[in-house]
Amino acid sequence: MYGFISRFRSLLALILPLAFFVAYLLFFYVHVVDVRVDVVILGEGVVFIDGQLFSSNSTLTFRLVKHGLIGFLEPLNLRVEAKPGRGWMIGEILFNNKTCTGGVVEVLGDGVLLVDFDRVISISYPGDLDFAGLDLDGDGLFDFIIEINLWNTLSASGTANMTFNLDRGILYYGQCLWDLTPKYSEIEVYGYPEIWCGNKPWNEYMALDSSIPIPDRVSSLNDFYVTLSYNLSHNSQLSINLAVESWFTRDKFRFTRVFAGEVEVMIWLYWHNLSPAGFKIDELIVPIEVDGEIVNCTFEVWYANMNWHYIAFRILEPIKFGVVRFNYASFIEWVYEFIGDEFRNLYLEDVEVGVEFGDSTIKTVVINWILYDFSLQYTSERLLKS
């Protein structure tokens, strides 16, 4: 009898901890649906979550709620994102009144995470404002303006979003629009989502903290390199380009529009199902650095008299993605020879980069464009050599 009790106790001693362990696992798997986590924000600022002030110093404690159940053995991975989705979720986070995304830098301890936020600026269509200024070096002056710029779209269903990550220097543009109605039906383009520096002469926004001294007279400026690193995807039938654009006006700061005798210059590095306005009048071979190699690229030159002079250089073999670098003077010299001496006195107002799109036969217009780099490097050579 004693032997039986002894064996029973031994069995109990073995089974009980195992049963408790299984119950413990089940308890956590079934019942724990949220976890309290301390998050340390790197940097100074005011933190809002879902519009509520959570912290005015650099440390923030809040509760993360995961949709659904969590398993006991599930690793604690945190992904901070603005949109609700699968996995861990935090509502919109504003840091210094800018929407932030971020990632876990380090797990400091049990449930304590160090999160480093990227500062991002985001604009959307539909929305009150379709532009924003970017002050990359924090000196109070804009280095660039981003603008969704659906200038010929009267109405559209769907959304477009442009987000600039200030910490990584990357521009993201995504749109999914349908039922587009143009403002002017005779114009085949709906818009030109873009980033630019200088003074765009069609509105009052300026980004004068550029690495080149614009606006200034063509005759006073030096040449500069334009570097772009990008990736673009879109509907296979869509009419679209990726183009650099500049306006040349008689006033140093023009805010209203462009007039006769003034000049618009576009450089199309990518295009699909789209032709420039007017007629092809010439061809030009320009050495372009593409992914580190110099390539002699042929550009068609198109001209239209749009009251002002419209000149578009369209590359023969489009570059859909890659790192592209070229001298502005390569194109400006041709414009000078074509327009004549009066071009010397015009002001180079701005340098823009965007994706011009149109074509009403596409029901839903999808564009995803990432611009990893847009930089201008001023040189000691004159913009006009002659």
Instruction: Classify residue 104 by burial, with Cβ atoms within 10 Å: 0-12, 13-18, 19+.
Output: middle
**C-alpha torsion sign, points 47, 49, 53, 55:** negative
Say whether the peptide bond before residue 215 is cis (omega within 30 degrees of 0): yes
Interface residues for Ca ion in 186-215 (CB under 5 A)?
209
Q: Which stretch binds Ca ion (CB under 5 A): 131-139, 147-155, 193-201, 264-272?
A: 131-139
Q: Which is nearer to Ca ion, 135 or 251 (CB)?
A: 135
- Helix and strand counts by DSSP (H, E) for the chain: 2, 28
Alpha carbons 192 and 203: distance in angstroms, whole number: 14
Q: Of 49, 141, 295, 304, which lies in the binding site for Ca ion, with binding defined by CB under 5 A?
A: 141
How many of the chain's residues bind Ca ion (CB under 5 A)?
A: 6
Least Å from the CB of residue 282 to Ca ion: 39
Residue 139 binds to Ca ion (criterion: CB under 5 A)? yes
Question: 56 with 48: CB under 8 angstroms?
Answer: no
Q: Which are the contacts of 60, defined by CB distance < 8 A and separation ≥ 6? A: 39, 40, 41, 47, 54
Residue 118 binds to Ca ion (criterion: CB under 5 A)? no
Alpha carbons 14 and 11: distance in angstroms, whole number: 5
Q: Of 135, 188, 216, 333, which lies in the binding site for Ca ion, with binding defined by CB under 5 A?
A: 135
The phi and psi torsions of 266 (rounded to 5 degrees) equal -120, 145
Q: Which is nearer to Ca ion, 171 or 315 (CB)?
A: 171
Least Å from the CB of residue 46 to Ca ion: 22
Q: Of 38, 81, 116, 143, which lies in the binding site for Ca ion, with binding defined by CB under 5 A?
A: 143
Q: Which stretch binds Ca ion (CB under 5 A): 128-136, 154-162, 281-289, 342-350?
A: 128-136
Least Å from the CB of residue 137 to Ca ion: 5
Q: Which is nearer to Ca ion, 114 or 136 (CB)?
A: 136
Least Å from the CB of residue 351 to Ca ion: 16
DSSP state of 300: E
Residue 293 binds to Ca ion (criterion: CB under 5 A)? no
3-class DSSP state for residue 262?
coil
The residues binding Ca ion (CB under 5 A) are 135, 137, 139, 141, 143, 209
